[in-house]
Amino acid sequence: MSELTVRAVELDAADELAGTRKQFVLDTVSDRAADAAGVYLDGNSLGALPAAVPGRVDDVVRRQWGALRIRSWDESGWWTAPERIGDRIAPLVGAAAGQIVVGDSTSVNVFKALVGAVRLVSGGHGDEARDEILVDATTFPTDGYIAGSAARMTGCTLRPVTPAEVPGALSARTAAVLLNHVDYRTGRLHDLPSLTAAVHAAGAVAVWDLCHSAGALPVGLDEHGVDLAVGCTYKYLNGGPGSPAYVMVARRHQDSVRSPLTGWTGHARPFAMEETYEPAPGIDRMRTGTPSMLSLLALEAALTAFDGVSMNDVRAKSLSLTSFFLDLADEVLVPLGFEPVTPRSPDERGSQVSLRHPSAYGVVQALMARRVIGDYREPDLVRLGFAPLYVRHVDVVVAVSELAAVVAAGEQDDPQYAVRTVVT
């Protein structure tokens, strides 16, 4: 692997984003060259810890909560944090300010966005003209579960279809379409511009799940006319475990969209404590309950890692990393029984690579024992995420080398790795 390491070092030397790595807390012995002491390629269920977060959380706990206490809702800007942090996320997904609010989980926001989307075109209860929701049949399970709940609430029929089938499945009955920008299993990047255009041509509303794309590639929500979008913040945005999700509503829909969860913080006059609900103007109406300030403000600190970073540079780095890995996989891993399932075309690839292997679970566990962190997806996928802000090309060489070593030694079949005892 020495020639590959030399090539990786050359690529890292030319990396426009090399300096952003220092903004993260990473378990490595040396940044001089490749080593196996903490290569982090989780794909990507939890981003690495940004160095700015611990100090911010300490300040929030000790000063804002400990000293200022209730005054922090005003003096520390707690009350306006959901919109303020939404405006920090907005340029990362190609949206203008005032269209994103942060709070609740991804599942809750999918429900709010999808029901709101149906109500935009059907009046809220489904009707003969618009009584069907299309959902990505390959989606992460929670999106399918939530879509079913949204269909029951709105009187719609739920129809699962693959993204490729969406244009042919659209009809005058379609109210809304829920799609994933990047497939969580395979890393396939779906064509957001053309699919959104097809949904609009059918008179329906497009809702996009950005969990596996936000922070890893340009999304272009405004450019491509996306109606509503949701996403988590603990993957490529590095907000921390369970950090709050966000919902985006295009400005043209904000006066009409109606959330099914009409909580007090989304009221036009939240402190008036009125018996009758009146939605707040703008994106504020998508707020529900009291925001979780510790995790919300940790996220705000985490997002500083993107300050001054171009999403075009992020995308270029992502493609360089994943292309380099796929090239090495063809040379080293395919002969050992691995099968890449992630698309080779840059236009169809997110920032992860998935490899099929019959003993994938054991492979991932043995790999982690070698301090190269990936993850596993049912039934047979090794999934590796390449976060452009902190992953290096030398890390790619280490990952390929260790994967090869695991299989060459048969470690994936060792009972300590092959017998599943925990959920990953």
Query: Which sequence positions are flagged as catalytic?
Result: 140, 209, 234-235, 383
Give burial (CB, 10 Å; 0-12/13-18/19+) of 127: middle
User: Rounded distance, CA 378 to CA 384, Å?
Assistant: 14
Q: CA dihedral in degrees (400, 402, 404, 409; nearest 10)?
A: 180
* Dihedral sign from CA coordinates of 103, 317, 26, 332: positive
User: Rounded distance, CA 248 to CA 96, Å?
Assistant: 10
DSSP 116-130: HHHHHHHTTS--SSS
**Are 63 and 69 within 8 A, CB to CB?**
no
User: Rounded distance, CA 31 to CA 102, Å?
Assistant: 35
Strands 246-249 and 375-377: unpaired
The closest alpha carbon to 390, from 124, 51, 4, belongs to 51
Dmax (CA) for the chain in angstroms is: 71
User: Rounded distance, CA 156 to CA 154, Å?
Assistant: 5
User: Rounded distance, CA 127 to CA 97, Å?
Assistant: 34
The amino acid at 393: H
User: What phi and psi, each to the nearest 5 degrees, are found at residue 252?
Assistant: -65, -20
Q: Which structure tokens are listed for 178? A: 């829920």
DSSP 308-341: T--HHHHHHHHHHHHHHHHHHIIIIIGGGT-EE-
**Are 213 and 189 within 8 A, CB to CB?**
yes
The closest alpha carbon to 311, from 23, 52, 93, 100, belongs to 93
Lookup result for tokens 């090399």? 18
User: Rounded distance, CA 279 to CA 265, Å?
Assistant: 9
